Structure 1
């Protein structure tokens, strides 16, 4: 399931295909990406047939240059605004990860600066969730 989610995120035209997209790891190079799985309750609703509606909570993040240059910081935030709009558009047209019974992928937060790495690099991220049905 994670591999399919990774392929889906990588299909976003905003993602630099020359940069790596890791799982639960973010390198030190700028422009690299990660999908980090978050802890939490996965069952949203249980059904009488034994199936359940579930969610996978994750963070999509990247390492970017940042600092006192306002233009750079605006571009970093702008990337996440555009990424969020792309996710919303994909839901509207039904273009979802190639995962059985997936119902939606949503951005739970807007993109934000999570932490800094020295004087010129920062991790930006956006919290997301994937909703899917798991049968018996």
Structure 2
């Protein structure tokens, strides 16, 4: 069995830490795997999707993984607070898009691209907390 540090999700998680450290005012957050903790934390969850994009007869296949990056944020009737939550994901999407164009990608073997499939949406509200969700896709060759 492979070491946990060799998994694509682990390497994507490390990449996301690098980006989130530039966006957050504090590094007081966690990125869980299939677990979303406290307000300000994130979770990286693998989505059930068809992974094969192309298969070539004489060569490698192109595959994709889709992950949901979820975040728990404060939520209220305060429009400014809610706009900041939405704006955070717009900034995150912009950084990932720019990084992809510059070839700044997660340290995943044979990765070709990373992209956001949406710019982050409100997924669930529970009192004064909301869960936001952004789908991220990586494409790679095997």
Q: TM-score range by the shorter chain?
A: over 0.9
Q: Which residue of 1 aligns with 2:125?
A: 116
Q: 2: CA distance between counterparts of 1:99 and 1:128?
A: 15
Distance apart, 1:92 and its partner CA? 1.0
Distance apart, 1:17 and its partner CA? 2.5
| Deviation string, structure 1 residues 73-92 (Cα, Å, up to 9, x no partner) | 00000000000000001001
1:8 to 15, 23, 33: 15
Q: 2: CA distance between counterparts of 1:50 and 1:100?
A: 16
Q: Which residue of 2 aligns with 1:126?
A: 134
TM-score under structure 1 length normalisation: 0.93
Task: Name structure 1 gaps, 5 residues minimum.
Answer: none
Q: Which residue of 2 aligns with 1:102?
A: 111
Q: 1: CA distance between counterparts of 2:140 and 2:27?
A: 27
Give the count of matched residue pairs: 132
Distance apart, 1:51 and its partner CA? 2.0
For residues 31-46 of structure 1, the aligned pairs below 5 Å read 31-46=40-55
* RMSD between aligned residues: 1.0
| Deviation string, structure 1 residues 55-77 (Cα, Å, up to 9, x no partner) | 00111110000110001100000
